[in-house]
Amino acid sequence: MTAQHSTVSEVMTRDVVTVRPDTPFKEIASVLSRHGISAVPVADARGAPVGVVSEADLLRKQAEQPVGGQQAAPGWPREKSKARAENAAGLMTTPVVTAHADWPVAQAARAMDRHRVKRLLVVDETDRIIGIVSRSDLLHVYLRPDEEIYEEINDDVLEGMLGLEEEEVQVQVHEGVVTLRGEVENQSTAQIAERLARGVEGVVTVRPMIDYAVDDRGRGPATA
């Protein structure tokens, strides 16, 4: 069985609620509460993203309120500006980090990690919002059953790509953790098997326990 790696289009939320730059503060708060979401994209007249307003952005206004007669501690100028904002244009965080529907889930996860954001707006070729993908959406790939992971590694990777028999390398999968045991002729084959197994969707980690007879990277027979 050959499994196709998930793309953003398969895990994203398509029914995206948006607001406009001139949407008032209280209306944004109402949108977040009504839809049970923690952030809302801000879109221009074309439907292209220009920012994101989160609950944290709204709470800055409350944080700036005096407590017990004392003024709030000084903050960054941008934070102070958001605390005084009356609409989405003043509240939103920019620039927006976007993804495309045909991206592999792994690519979206790397973009999310690189930009340190909790969500990506998914846009089409005209830059219009067509979806949103969150951290929890990307984690769905790790719900893949162990049996499917086993079949892909054993049938597609080891036998299909590397031409290895089951007697040479055995695969065990438990809770997404893959163990490879056996013996092959060349060290490079063992390394390729490990690398390809790590790339299989749903794999948490790989424990390589493959012995080899020859170090074909240029140092002759294996000594261990």
Smallest Cα–Cα separation from 108: which of 204, 7, 205, 17? 7
At 31-88, the pLDDT tens digits run 999 999 999 999 999 999 999 999 999 998 766 655 455 555 445 555 667 788 999 9
pTM (2 decimals)?
0.68
Mean pLDDT score of the chain, rounded to an integer?
89
CA quadruple 36, 40, 43, 49: dihedral sign: negative
| Predicted confidence band of residue 1 (pLDDT cuts 50, 70, 90) | very low
| Predicted confidence band of residue 147 (pLDDT cuts 50, 70, 90) | very high
Q: Write down the pLDDT at residue 71.
A: 52
Backbone φ and ψ for 124, nearest 5 degrees, come out as -90, -170
At 9-33, the pLDDT tens digits run 999 999 999 999 999 999 999 999 9
Question: Which token pair is 53?
Answer: 């307003």
In order of their start, the domains of the chain are 8-140 (3.10.580.10), 144-221 (3.30.1340.30)
